[in-house]
Structure 1
Amino acid sequence: MGNHMTKNHAFRSILAVAFVTGVAVLPNAAEAKDWWPFKINAAKGGDLKKVEALDYVPLEKAEKPWNLCVLFPHLKDSYWVSVDYGIVEEAKRLGVKVTVLQAGGYDALPKQLSQYDDCVASGAQGILVAAISEAGLAAKLKEGDAKGLVQIAVANPILETPITARITPDTYQKGFQEGEYLKKYLGDKKTTAIGLPGPQGSGWAESYMAGFRDSTKTGNIKLAAELYGEPGVPQSLRLVEDALQTYPDLNVIWGGAAAAEAAVSAVADAGRDDVVIMSSYENQTMLKLVKEGKVLGFAAEYPVMMGRISVDLAVRALEKKDYEKVLLVAPGIVTKDNVDKIDPTQIFAPDGWKPEFSVQ
């Protein structure tokens, strides 16, 4: 992750501009059928020092029904269900085949490794990978690269291992900008914060944390602890409850969506309505809690759009058409003030939509 931090520092100022306008507003009804153009940042030639904003427009149709395979860590929350929705819908629109596999959790790396082998054995021409751990999957990805497989990192960053392309949030920038937002929101008030970024070893959790940590190096927020763990509500609840006991002056809890959801329950039980809670990414529960004023906000990642664009990237690569090697979703902070202005079709699967595992 070291290289990623340095590179991200290099273009923090560029993305700060995108951050201000990063929240997509609701489309007119006439525009709702097409999801493009979508504003996104591209690192030209994969160089993170050459980041440009662009309006992404996908292909109209694939030339043939390519066979794609998708690897998810899990489909236990609306975030990954929304990525799945984007992939499935774009596969249908482009006319390609998709098989979706999910490992069951961030503690299931061996399962994801065997699922990678299943993708290869099934004759997949392209693999969309939401890696549980880049380090854990690196050997498989190198094998796939040597075989000429198209491999696209979707949502979870793959930074050092050779792959075809990636579309991910800029996790460092999101953590940093949320820290900046909290400092502005809290003003001169001295605060003690904890961070619950997610599972150690995932890469993205460390990157979120590094951004938030760097932001708190100036200003009035004292970062008391960094608590890593599986991104589930029960696991996060134990961490939050322990932190409330350990740090009696704790008044800011920042972390993933599951951690923020757990924190709402824990601070209510502890009678600590003075604690400010912020989430590093979104799901349906976060949307509800922001509207209710129980969570200050979240930094949007547009899961549906990442899913859609990952399919288009794979098809472009398979058809030897031009494509961007590194696409970064510009963070947009969503709070009670602007939550009704976001376009939910870019973020969430429709209400009641169930995960689909195959497009033929």
Structure 2
Amino acid sequence: MTVSNPIRENTSISFLSNVCRRIFAAYARRCTTAIGAMAAAVFWAMLVAPPADADGKTTVCVLVPHFKDEYWLSVGYGLEQEASQHDIALLFFEAGGYQSLAEQIAQLDDCAKRGVDAILLGAVSSDHPELLATIHAISGKLPVFGLVNELLSNDLSGRIGVDWQEMGLVLGSYLAEIHPAGTAVQKAVLISGPAESGWVGPLERGLRLGLAQSSIEILEVFRADTGLRQQLSAVEEAFSAHPDAELLIGSAPAVEAAIGLIRATNRQTGVGLVSTYISHTIKRAVMNGRVLAVPFDDPRQQGVLAIRQMLRFLEQGQSAGFEGPEILLINGTNNRIGSIILSPADYFPIIQ
């Protein structure tokens, strides 16, 4: 959902956090090597790829929607931290966004052909028939584990994540405490991810359930892929459609975009900001009081738990269930923010 707005040329890059600047730089470096990569691919296609574990290491494919969202950097860091303790080689792939279903399916097939020991899948869709069919076919050859995002497949050997409905419920319940039913109405907009992603639907259901006994009215929901640029477009559209909004509830990139947009334009300065999940930028914004609250599902620890769950399966041969960290509500007054550990500022995984 993109709208024309003359403000963007002055704001879309200037307020990026250091982490997001590094993310864009990493993508730019990859683009400059595209021609060489294409030539190498042609040459590689003429050969037979060697087994992924030719050196005896356990080798694992990690597939994620993208690393344009800081949240996934912390997941990747947790994966690498734990993998290094067990001499596990990780091969990182990103689909390019939540609309890149065909690319993620191709990456699944590629990983199966490489002869890896397991696949950790941060799915771009929770229930698309083609994705589920691919998982079904591959799971007969090697284990596939769900990573972070909801994935409605009966063929998984395990799944690490949290209940995204509970994420929304924790946040909505907290906001209901601040703005209980019967108090002055608070007009809100919700900026979320694309509908096809596995976390958006459950998150919104939980949020609305938590807000049921509040005075908060969600005027409209705006959706976009969770890259910063796309979420900025959604924020601009929301502010244009609802200039009287008093509260913006949004994904981490949406809230970061809103902070920068407000700073650059000096408009909507009184809007309260609430994030639906954590990132480096959101952590800093909670600490300085710009963001009111965020539910914390410890993305770094989810990466650690995913490696441990996978190892238990490879060593014991028993499928695991659904595991994940406890969800905590973080704000500027409950003394939890200091204990949050995310990926280092200079971390970015090597992507295949």
Q: TM-score higher than 0.5 here?
A: yes
1:78 & 1:281 partners in 2: Cα distance?
A: 10
Unaligned ranges ≥5, structure 2: 1-55
Cα deviation per residue 1:223-258 (whole Å; 9 max; x = unaligned)? 211222111222222222222232243111112101
CA-CA distance at 1:211 after TM superposition: 0.9
Against the structure 1 CA distance between its residues 341 and 234, is the aligned structure 2 distance closer, same or farther, given a 3 Å change threshold? closer
1:245 & 1:65 partners in 2: Cα distance?
A: 54
1:349 to 326, 343, 352: 343
Contact kept, 8 Å, 1:66 with 1:315, in 2: the verdict is no
1:256 to 247, 251, 259: 251
Against the structure 1 CA distance between its residues 342 and 71, is the aligned structure 2 distance closer, same or farther, given a 3 Å change threshold? same
In the alignment, does 2:143 pair up with 1:150?
yes
Contact kept, 8 Å, 2:175 with 2:214, in 1: the verdict is no
Cα deviation per residue 1:63-114 (whole Å; 9 max; x = unaligned)? x832211111112232111111111121110222221112222222221111
Contact kept, 8 Å, 1:192 with 1:221, in 2: the verdict is yes
Match of 1:169?
162
In the alignment, does 2:304 pair up with 1:308?
yes
Cα deviation per residue 1:189-219 (whole Å; 9 max; x = unaligned)? 3111121221110121111111112222332
In the alignment, does 2:180 pair up with 1:184?
no
1:177-256 aligned at under 5 Å gives the runs: 177-187=170-180, 188-256=183-251
2:93 to 94, 98, 101: 101
1:49-198 aligned at under 5 Å gives the runs: 65-136=57-128, 137-147=131-141, 149-187=142-180, 188-198=183-193
Match of 2:271?
275
**Paired letter, 1:168:** G
Contact kept, 8 Å, 2:82 with 2:304, in 1: the verdict is yes
Q: Which range moves more in the overlay, 83-92 or 245-254?
A: 245-254
Cα deviation per residue 1:154-179 (whole Å; 9 max; x = unaligned)? 11121344211111122101111111
1:128 & 1:160 partners in 2: Cα distance?
A: 13
1:175 & 1:167 partners in 2: Cα distance?
A: 18
Against the structure 1 CA distance between its residues 340 and 165, is the aligned structure 2 distance closer, same or farther, given a 3 Å change threshold? closer
Contact kept, 8 Å, 2:222 with 2:238, in 1: the verdict is no
**Paired letter, 2:136:** K
2:111 & 2:151 partners in 1: Cα distance?
A: 18
Question: Greater RCO between the two (CA within 8 Å, min separation 6)?
Answer: 1
Structure 1 vs Structure 2 CA RMSD? 2.1
CA-CA distance at 1:139 after TM superposition: 1.3
Against the structure 1 CA distance between its residues 68 and 332, is the aligned structure 2 distance closer, same or farther, given a 3 Å change threshold? same
Identical amino acids, percent of aligned pairs: 28
Contact kept, 8 Å, 2:75 with 2:303, in 1: the verdict is yes
Give me the TM-score of the superposition, normalised by structure 2: 0.77
Give me the TM-score of the superposition, normalised by structure 1: 0.75
CA-CA distance at 1:145 after TM superposition: 2.1
Unaligned ranges ≥5, structure 1: 1-63
Against the structure 1 CA distance between its residues 176 and 341, is the aligned structure 2 distance closer, same or farther, given a 3 Å change threshold? closer
SS of the residue 1:135 aligns to: coil
1:181 & 1:227 partners in 2: Cα distance?
A: 22
Against the structure 1 CA distance between its residues 165 and 73, is the aligned structure 2 distance closer, same or farther, given a 3 Å change threshold? same
Match of 1:52?
none
SS of the residue 1:333 aligns to: strand
1:213 & 1:306 partners in 2: Cα distance?
A: 26
1:299 to 291, 295, 298: 295
Contact kept, 8 Å, 2:168 with 2:276, in 1: the verdict is yes
Contact kept, 8 Å, 1:313 with 1:323, in 2: the verdict is no
CA-CA distance at 1:262 after TM superposition: 1.7
**Paired letter, 2:251:** G
1:180 & 1:216 partners in 2: Cα distance?
A: 6
Against the structure 1 CA distance between its residues 344 and 214, is the aligned structure 2 distance closer, same or farther, given a 3 Å change threshold? closer
Contact kept, 8 Å, 2:277 with 2:296, in 1: the verdict is yes
2:227 & 2:257 partners in 1: Cα distance?
A: 9
How many residue pairs get aligned? The number is 292
CA-CA distance at 1:282 after TM superposition: 0.9
Against the structure 1 CA distance between its residues 121 and 86, is the aligned structure 2 distance closer, same or farther, given a 3 Å change threshold? same
SS of the residue 1:216 aligns to: helix
Q: Which range moves more in the overlay, 313-322 or 119-128?
A: 313-322
**Paired letter, 2:156:** I
1:303 & 1:322 partners in 2: Cα distance?
A: 25
Q: Which range moves more in the overlay, 294-303 or 332-341?
A: 332-341
